[in-house]
């Protein structure tokens, strides 16, 4: 699967001297995940 910035958003920052990276799923990513789950359910149901 090809991941791009439309699927998730990442932020890099430092907390003190330690790096911290956070990721959030975008609305496009949520929609893609729902489509993926629906396709898996359809496959399982036959």
**What pLDDT score does 22 carry?**
93
- Go through 19-30 and write b for each residue having 16 or more CB atoms within 10 A of its CB, e for each that does not: eeeeeeeeeebe
For the entire predicted model, the pTM comes to 0.64
Mean predicted confidence (pLDDT) in 8-30: 93
Secondary structure class of 1 (helix, strand, coil): coil
**What pLDDT score does 6 carry?**
83
Radius of gyration of the chain (CA): 16
Q: Please report, in angstroms and rounded to a whole number, the separation of the first and last CA atoms in the chain.
A: 23
Residue 17 C-alpha from the chain's centroid: 27
């Amino acid at each position: 699967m090809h991941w791009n910035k439309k699927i998730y958003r990442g932020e890099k920052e430092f907390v003190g001297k330690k790096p911290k990276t956070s990721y959030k799923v975008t609305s496009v990513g949520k929609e893609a995940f729902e489509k993926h789950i629906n396709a898996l359910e359809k496959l399982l149901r036959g």
